[in-house]
């Protein structure tokens, strides 16, 4: 063979293999399905300080997550979203980042992270990073440089403004975490803006250097294999350049500040330019997803987050359906129908729990019905046509544990706002693995937050053993969601739309097969005769208690739910 011939031959072979792979319709469809994994995903949120403590210092870490991957696999999750693990002074427990390309030593090392990625990939679990784009820590080198003078190369990387003539802040904007959103710095004789704590200065997203620096951060983590990002506080990226005062509404917030209509600091139209850029960046790597922390008022606003041409976020969170905070059937149904029908065929991402709000076990508490309510919420979350977010511990029915005294509070919101605002410690207590000391979370006695007092009964080990436990209910639902064609891909159809007590819908595939889901949102038993089901019987796939469906008739116990294949 002449020199070069072998190279040319290998090259042709590579091209033909590649084109077969790329243009083979079966492979192409599989790749497409794989890249769209997020459309039907169950994504499990991990607060790393509280999930598993491998090194025994009382604080969870990356190795503690790796150690529990088999549990997550068994539960059936497709991806884990880990809240920030980057170096941070931890004023906001990681949401104040001082280095976007490293791991905080409290959580481990980059080698630990790489091992987590490898072990997760082996189990077909994707890893989603939490990206805080709106602000950095005040200890980030960018901010340290920016505040040093008005003329340094990063002088314009944050939002600096002169105060009023009397030394007062530039305007009336209020921080989400209490009091003025402006902080004075004498090296510049100026104020900087912070939507959250003063230790979290807002970046200036109008500056293209800031944008490009952040886009490179995303590329860095995608090259490490992360499957996408949960974009923190993403609706806050821009503020009114004219700095107009925000209109004051009635009452005060939990910190005693006047309430504002946040029209100049939240959800400005410029956010969409950045979302489109971000999407282009993540689209450079196949199969990545952008999730948004999007607290919005209605489905129309949510629809905008996907982009007019579906070129923005794939999964902006719907934080409406799961946050009604009471069993108001009409309102819940309306929010569900809106999310399923008014977002241009996109996928809603539902959540009932996260690290910023009291757990649903508290928000939907119905004295004496805790177990039924937890199963009802599982059904409401996992059976519509959606992607679903679970928060660690939700699957075993973990509850909130409020700090009793101000001295015990860890979350600065609780320190600033005590006693009206007790902070978010209650929903961040250590994961309850078993009935051993510290609930199997840590080998040390002093965990960063105390373990919930109910850990002897509410824990993974004992619920694993009990076939009727909430944990096994979650597992069955998640399995069913994957194995049942109607739940996997069936269209969403509301049924019995005027029932004041029971939320019912069907999932129907083009072959005419359907699955019925009915959820009793009241504390009374409800008998149903669903018109659409007349003469049909149903094979119960999952229900919170035994029941039978004959001729479209059945009854549900208080807060009961059923998922049935119709025949």
Nearer to ligand GLC, 196 or 448 (CB): 196
| Mutual angle of helices 208-223 and 271-283, in 10-degree steps | 30
Position 338 contacts ligand GLC (CB under 6 A) = no
Nearer to ligand GLC, 338 or 411 (CB): 411
- 232 tagged catalytic: yes
Q: Each residue of 364-403: b (16+ CB within 10 Å) or e?
A: bbbeebbebbbbbbbbbbbbbbbbbbbbbbbbbbbbbbeb
* SS3 call for 131: strand
Nearer to ligand GLC, 293 or 421 (CB): 293
- 284 tagged catalytic: yes
Q: Which of 541, 537, 396 is nearest to 482 (CA)?
A: 541
Cβ 423 to ligand GLC shortest distance, Å: 10
Cβ 132 to ligand GLC shortest distance, Å: 6
Nearer to ligand GLC, 92 or 138 (CB): 92
Active-site choice (112, 138, 199, 232): 232
Number of residues that bind ligand GLC (CB under 6 A): 9
Distances (CA, A) of 68 to 74, 378, 431: 10, 22, 11
Cβ 94 to ligand GLC shortest distance, Å: 8
Task: Report how far residue 471's alpha carbon sits from residue 374's, in angstroms, rounded to the nearest whole number.
Answer: 10
Cβ 93 to ligand GLC shortest distance, Å: 8
Active-site choice (284, 466, 489, 491): 284
Cβ 550 to ligand GLC shortest distance, Å: 47
Position 478 contacts ligand GLC (CB under 6 A) = no
Nearer to ligand GLC, 51 or 95 (CB): 95
**Chosen residue from 45, 199, 202, 293 binding ligand GLC by CB under 6 A:** 293
Task: Report how far residue 386's alpha carbon sits from residue 351's, in angstroms, rounded to the nearest whole number.
Answer: 10
Nearer to ligand GLC, 322 or 384 (CB): 322
Task: Report how far residue 282's alpha carbon sits from residue 287's, in angstroms, rounded to the nearest whole number.
Answer: 9
8 A C-beta contact, residue 490 and residue 511:
no
Q: Is the peptide bond before 419 cis (omega within 30 degrees of 0)?
A: yes
- Burial class from Cβ neighbours inside 10 Å (0-12, 13-18, 19+) for residue 532 reads middle
Question: In the complex, which residue's CB is closest to ligand GLC?
Answer: 95
Residue with tokens 């069955």: 476
* SS3 call for 39: helix
Which residues, numbered 144-203, are part of the site for ligand GLC (CB under 6 A)? Answer: 196
**Chosen residue from 46, 72, 75, 132 binding ligand GLC by CB under 6 A:** 132
Which residues, numbered 225-254, are part of the site for ligand GLC (CB under 6 A)? Answer: 232-233
**Chosen residue from 47, 51, 95, 441 binding ligand GLC by CB under 6 A:** 95
**Chosen residue from 45, 53, 61, 92 binding ligand GLC by CB under 6 A:** 92
Q: Which of 130, 126, 129 is nearest to 287 (CA)?
A: 126
Residues found near ligand GLC in the complex (CB under 6 A): 92, 95, 132, 196, 232-233, 293, 355-356
Active site amino acids: 232, 284
């Amino acid at each position: 063979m002449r020199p070069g011939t072998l190279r040319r031959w290998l090259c042709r072979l590579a091209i033909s293999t590649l084109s077969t792979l790329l243009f083979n319709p079966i492979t192409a469809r599989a790749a497409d399905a794989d890249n769209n994994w997020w459309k039907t995903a169950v994504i499990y949120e991990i607060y790393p300080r509280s999930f598993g403590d491998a090194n025994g210092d009382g604080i969870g870490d990356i190795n503690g997550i790796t150690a529990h991957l088999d549990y997550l696999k068994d539960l059936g999750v497709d991806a884990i979203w880990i809240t920030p693990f980057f170096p941070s002074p931890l004023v906001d427990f990681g949401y104040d980042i001082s280095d976007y390309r490293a791991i905080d030593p409290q959580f481990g090392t980059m080698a630990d992270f790489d091992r987590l990625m490898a072990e997760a990939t082996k189990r077909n679990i994707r890893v989603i990073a939490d990206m805080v784009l709106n602000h950095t820590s005040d200890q980030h080198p960018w901010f340290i440089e920016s505040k040093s003078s008005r003329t340094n190369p990063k002088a314009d990387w944050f939002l600096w403004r002169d105060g009023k003539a009397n030394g007062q802040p530039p305007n009336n904007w209020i921080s989400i975490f209490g009091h003025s959103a402006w902080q004075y710095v004498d090296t510049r004789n100026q104020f900087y803006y912070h939507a959250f704590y003063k230790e979290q200065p807002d970046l200036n997203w109008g500056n293209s250097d800031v944008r490009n620096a952040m886009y490179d951060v995303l590329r860095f983590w995608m090259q490490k294999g992360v499957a996408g990002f949960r974009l923190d506080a993403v609706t806050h990226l821009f503020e009114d350049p004219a700095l107009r005062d925000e209109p004051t509404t009635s009452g005060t917030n939990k910190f005693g500040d006047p309430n504002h209509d946040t029209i100049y600091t939240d959800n400005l139209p410029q956010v969409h330019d950045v979302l489109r850029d971000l999407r282009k960046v993540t689209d450079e790597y196949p199969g990545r997803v952008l999730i948004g922390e999007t607290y919005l008022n209605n489905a129309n606003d949510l629809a905008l987050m996907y982009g007019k041409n579906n070129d923005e976020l794939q999964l902006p969170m719907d934080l409406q359906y799961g946050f009604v905070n009471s069993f108001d059937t009409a309102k819940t149904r309306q929010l569900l129908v809106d999310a399923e029908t008014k977002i241009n065929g996109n996928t809603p991402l539902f959540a009932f729990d996260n690290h910023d709000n009291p757990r649903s076990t508290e928000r939907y508490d119905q004295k004496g019905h805790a177990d039924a309510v937890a199963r009802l919420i599982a059904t409401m979350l996992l059976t519509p046509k959606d992607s679903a977010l679970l928060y660690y511990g939700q699957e075993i029915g973990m509850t909130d544990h409020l700090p009793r005294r101000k001295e015990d509070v860890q979350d600065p919101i609780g320190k600033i706002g005590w006693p009206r605002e007790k902070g978010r410690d209650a929903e961040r207590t250590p994961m309850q693995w078993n009935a051993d000391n510290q609930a199997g979370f840590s080998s040390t006695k002093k965990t960063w937050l105390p373990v919930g007092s109910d850990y002897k009964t509410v824990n993974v080990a004992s619920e694993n053993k009990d076939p009727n436990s909430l944990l096994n209910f979650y597992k069955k639902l998640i399995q069913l969601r994957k194995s049942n064609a109607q739940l996997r891909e069936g269209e969403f159809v509301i049924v019995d739309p005027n029932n004041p007590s029971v939320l019912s819908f069907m999932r129907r595939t083009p072959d005419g097969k359907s699955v019925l889901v009915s959820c009793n949102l009241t504390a009374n038993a409800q008998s149903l005769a669903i018109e659409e089901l007349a003469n049909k019987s149903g094979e119960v796939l999952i229900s919170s208690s035994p029941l039978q469906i004959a001729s479209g008739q059945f009854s549900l116990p208080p807060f009961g739910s059923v998922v049935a294949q119709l025949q």
